Chain A
Amino acid sequence: MNPVDLLGKIIEISHSNIELSSRITSILNIISRDMNAEEAIIYTFDKDRRLSCRYANQKSVLFKILNQYRCHVGEGVVGSVAQKRSPLFFTKRDIPPRFGCLFYPDLDGRIENYKLFAFLPLADDSYLYGVLALCAVSRDTLHDADKVFLSILSREVGGILRSYELILSSKKRISELATLTELGKMLTSNAEPRELLKNIALVIAKSLNATFVTIMLGYPFLKLDAQRFTYGIIEPSVQDHVEELEGAATRLLRAVSIKDCAPDEYEDSFKYTLFSAPIASKNRVLGTLTICAEKTGQSYALGEDGQYLISTIANYISSGLENTLLNTRLRDAVRELNDAQKRLIEQEKFRSLGEMTASIAHEIKNPLVIIGGFTKRLARQVDIDRTENKYIRIILNEVTRLESILNEVLNYVKETPLVAETCNINDYLDEILYLLTSDSSWEEIEISRSYNQGLSLVACDSQQLKQVLINIFINAHEAMHGRGTITIQTKQAAYENGSFVAISISDTGGGIDPAIIDNIFNPFFTTKERGTGLGLAISNKIIMNHKGHIDVENVAGKGVTFIIYLPVKNHTTKEELL
């Protein structure tokens, strides 16, 4: 093929759509065939700016041997051509003595058959992309025209390599942008922090082709139960480096790479590139982002300048976390507001119900007093042993019962202010139990106590609390029909950030039917033949007024446990007490 046709063919290939490495291989095949050179090999720079064989013609024998070696610029024939950016042509006989040997001392045996060598820099006006090496067995001379042709050719191949680099860096840029776009989308979503962090790790790992991505939150953030969010698997051999890098990134407040922390390992056996960046907000380090990718892997974005990208991503995450934090706070606030509103409506409903009940009770009270009062007068005028007197007694009993119901209702409806005093619950329970159990109906009830002796003091209205406790004890007594065990336990308890004293009272009365358990605190709900259904409602109200609450644990068929939580009295210093 004449040089013009050859060049035309090469230009045609270089502008084709096929994959870049295939294009270069095709060009090398043509050069090899047309130049009668058995070997056509291209050296390019690797990450460390060392020259290594990257491409060769298909039939190349030396490629497999030569690509095990790398050389710096200025080193050996290839390095020298790269340094001077001028071609070298020579035969086996006139290898310039300054090179000693052509490639490497132990390779000289393998190249004995080669008679002609040509080394050309692959460069354009400003930049060197590599070196083209040709070795021929079947010819030992090179015409000047061939040399000129090869020079033109090498410029053309340099151009192809340049476009390849441009494409690579654009791909890298696109991959970076895609990652950031994905992240941006995610961070503006309203996902829960946990989900968000997991998804961030996933997106980064996928779009950067990383081996693993791990986000470590060192700051007690968002009340999350986990501290590390990882996508992928952290190999044990990398684990230490991850922690070291995270420490460095936090300390230095900037992105760091494995190269900064452990350059030796990075150079040699280490097959990963590792970056870590602080996730910081207003100079407060919330955590770190660490990305790991294989050195030889297809990770466009994690090149030498990965620090820049990872810093950008970390900034994205920190603003996203801030955003999520605000969102979470907002959501909490809204929820609290809703709860407060619900409570308010409930209270309002209750209050108007209470007012209505009070007014009805009052209206009933007068007629009841009249009926009862005159019946009493009647009773005094009828002989005690007459049948009429028996009827009158029944009427009077029912009037008394109605009156006591009305009193309870009015008691429940009216707001009784708290008269708070400091109270030792253990002593208090003993006092009440002593009073209760002195009655003969309690003879067959066993009382089992388990007190926390170091129980905190509570501030409570002892009269009202007595009403609550007696109510629960009497309910237990009735549920067990006067025979069974009441177990009383006191302990410290934490509930929603508050410190409480818990009094639990269990009976062996068979428990409450699960179908009605939700109703037991409702006013006027009762299972007793003669009960107003106000006992537990009043108890609940009293405990709520104390800023405490009552829990019920029901084991149907066995028994029920009421747990009263009362807030611990705020710590008072001795000075304050005096």
Chain B
Amino acid sequence: MKNAKILVVDDEENIRLLFKEELEEEGFDVDLASNGLEALDKLKKGRFDLVVLDIKMPGMDGIQALNEIKNANKDQPVVLCSAYGEFKQDLSSWVSDGYVVKSADTRELKQTIKNILGL
């Protein structure tokens, strides 16, 4: 089976690197974007099975990016991943498919992704 393609969006380079290595170890193909706009650009050009989206980013934040992504393709799976224990999201916006608190322990993130992809 072809590897699932995952786009990791985070403004911290080392977080991106960590997630990339951790997810590749699980057999995913991982591409990276450092902000919302770059992510939208990559989604326009290619197909991804899932997007991991940080919330607090300069420029376009994760919530805005989520809305843009879902407006373009409401079936695109997105997992929000943030250092915050909570975030504010107004009720009219799109809802993510999963939400994970950012942690050094990446097991929850991996499990959430697998659940959404039905793996």
Residues on A close to B: CB < 8 A? 358, 361-362, 365-366, 368-377, 396, 399-400, 403, 407, 410-411, 414
Q: Smallest Cβ distance from A382 to chain B, in angstroms?
A: 16
Pick the contact of A369: B21, B84, B86, B102 (CB < 8 A): B102
- Give chain B interface residues in 82-117, CB to chain A under 8 Å: 83-86, 101-106
Knowing A373-B18, A374-B18, say if A366 contacts B105 (CB, 8 Å): no
Residue interface mask B12-36, A partner, CB < 8 A = 1 = 1011001001100000000000000
Q: Is the CB of A368 within 8 A of B104?
A: yes
Q: Smallest Cβ distance from A534 to chain B, in angstroms?
A: 14
Q: Smallest Cβ distance from B32 to chain A, in angstroms?
A: 15
Q: Is the CB of A411 within 8 A of B85?
A: yes
Knowing A407-B85, A410-B84, say if A366 contacts B102 (CB, 8 Å): yes
Judge if B5 is at the interface, Cβ distance under 8 Å. no
Q: Is the CB of A373 within 8 A of B84?
A: no
Pick the contact of A376: B14, B56, B83, B105 (CB < 8 A): B105
Total chain B interface residues with beta-carbon distance under 8 A: 17
Residue of B nearest to A410 (CB): B85
Q: Smallest Cβ distance from A24 to chain B, in angstroms?
A: 100
Q: Smallest Cβ distance from B79 to chain A, in angstroms?
A: 15
Q: Smallest Cβ distance from A360 to chain B, in angstroms?
A: 11
- Whole-angstrom CA separation of A361 from B86 in the bound complex: 13
Q: Is the CB of A371 within 8 A of B85?
A: no
Residue of B nearest to A408 (CB): B85
Q: Is the CB of A373 within 8 A of B104?
A: yes
Knowing A365-B102, A376-B105, A403-B104, say if A370 contacts B85 (CB, 8 Å): no
Residue interface mask B25-68, A partner, CB < 8 A = 1 = 00000000000000000000000000000001000000000000
Q: A362-B84, A373-B15, A410-B85 are in contact. List 17 more A-B contacts (CB 8 A).
A: A366-B102, A369-B103, A370-B18, A372-B103, A372-B104, A373-B106, A374-B18, A375-B104, A376-B104, A377-B21, A399-B104, A400-B105, A403-B103, A403-B104, A407-B85, A410-B86, A414-B86
Residue of A nearest to B84 (CB): A362
Q: Is the CB of A369 within 8 A of B104?
A: yes
Nearest first, the 7 A-B pairs at minimum CB distance are A372-B104, A365-B83, A373-B18, A370-B14, A410-B85, A373-B104, A362-B83
Q: Is the CB of A369 within 8 A of B15?
A: yes
Chain A residues with Cβ under 8 A from B21's Cβ? Answer: 377
Q: Is the CB of A366 within 8 A of B15?
A: yes
Chain A residues with Cβ under 8 A from B103's Cβ? Answer: 369, 372, 403
Residue of B nearest to A396 (CB): B104
Residue of B nearest to A363 (CB): B83
Q: Is the CB of B22 within 8 A of A366?
A: no
Residue of A nearest to B55 (CB): A362
Chain A residues with Cβ under 8 A from B106's Cβ? Answer: 373, 376
Knowing A377-B21, A377-B22, say if A366 contacts B86 (CB, 8 Å): no
Residue of A nearest to B11 (CB): A366
Q: Smallest Cβ distance from A44 to chain B, in angstroms?
A: 97
Q: Is the CB of B83 within 8 A of A366?
A: yes
Q: Is the CB of A373 within 8 A of B83?
A: no
Pick the contact of A362: B15, B22, B56, B105 (CB < 8 A): B56
Chain A residues with Cβ under 8 A from B15's Cβ? Answer: 366, 369-370, 373
